[in-house]
Structure 1
C-alpha cells in the first residue's frame, strides 16, 4: 500500500512539555483514518504540524513519500477547528475567492464542488445565514478547491444535529469512493466514526498507542463465537484506562 502520510518520531514541546511525544503514524492511500483521543490528547497539535501551522520540535513528516513538505501540502485540503469562510458572501463567491487565492483560473470547478457538497441550490443566500451543517459543508467545499489528494478534517461533526452529522458522513464517503480522496478525520464522536472509518489511530497523552484496521477492531471487540462484546467507544476506553 502507498503511504500518503508518515510521521516519524514527531514531537512538539511547549515550555518543555511534550504535547505530541515521539509519534509515528502512517496513513495509506484510500484510508478514511479515524484519529481518536480525549480532548487535550494532542490531536489538533499533530494536525497543525502536518499542515504547517506549527513546527515540530523533533522528528519529521513525509507527504506522498517526500520530505518536500511545501509541495506536498499543496495537495492537502484542511478544515481545522472553526469553519473558515467569508460570512457576507454566497457559497459560490467563497469558492471563487479560494480559486483566486490558489491562482486557479478555471472557476468552473466551483460549481461542480457546490453540487458535490449539496450547496448548489443556495443561490444568493449569504454564508452567515447557513445552518451549522451547511457551513461545515461549505468549509469542506473550500478545502476541495485545487483537487487535494488528502483531506484533513478536525472534528467536522462537532455541534451538528443528527441530520447534519449524516450529511457530513455521506459526503466523506462520497469523496473517498468517487474522488479517491484519502481522509484523516479526528473526532470524539466514536459511534459515528465507526460507521465509516477504515483505519484508526489512538492518541493518549501525546503518544500514539495503537493503529488498527476496521477488521482488526471488530475482531478485538468480538468473542470467540463472533458475538460483539464491545464497540469502538468501549475499546477506546479500555485502551486508555477509562471505564
Structure 2
C-alpha cells in the first residue's frame, strides 16, 4: 500500500507511537523509530523486522535531535515522506503547585520538539512537492481540565502550530493532519493509575493505541489531492 514510503515516528517505543510504527510498517512503510530508550526501540524494531531503523533520541535535547536528523538523512538523504510527531509527556498538577521546571519540560517535549522536527524535514518535503506531517494532539487541545495547566498549554500550542503549518503548506503538495484522541490506554497513564484515581476514566473506557494508529494510516492513504485537516477521536 505504501511501499517506498519512509516515516519518522517520535515516541515510538511504546503506546501510540509504537502502534503507529507497527501499523505503518505493515502497510509497507520504512519506519525510523525515535525514543529515549535504545533497548525498547530495539524490541520494536525486531518486532517490525527488516527496514526499521532505531534512532535513540531525547527529543527535549536540541543537540540529540540534530544528531537524530543527521542519522535519518544518512539513510534517506531526501528525508522522510511522513513525519509523525507523537512523543510527549503528561504531567498532572495545579498551576500553583507544579514545578516550573516540569512545566518547561512539558513544553520542550510536547511543543518545541515537534517544531524542531518540522524545521528539519518540512523544507525537503516542500522542495519535493510531497510529504505528510501528522501531529498527535489531544482532546485537551480544545477542552480544559483541572490539573492540565502544563499539558493543555503544550497541546493548545501544538494545535496552533499545526494550523499555521497547514496554512503555510496549502498548495505545496505537502499535507498536514492533526489527530486528536480522547484518553487512550497507554503507559503514560501508569503514574496516575486512572482506575483508582477519582476524576479520570477507567482504562477500560479509553481508546486503544491501535485506534489512533488506524486513523494515522487512514489519513496518509487518502488520495494525494485530499488533505485531512483534523481528526478528533473519542470512545463510542
TM-score between both structures, scaled by the size of structure 2: 0.32
Larger Rg: 1
Q: State the TM-score, normalizing by the size of structure 1.
A: 0.31
User: Quick one: higher RCO (CA 8 Å, sep 6+), 1 or 2?
Assistant: 1
Higher strand share goes to which structure?
A: 1
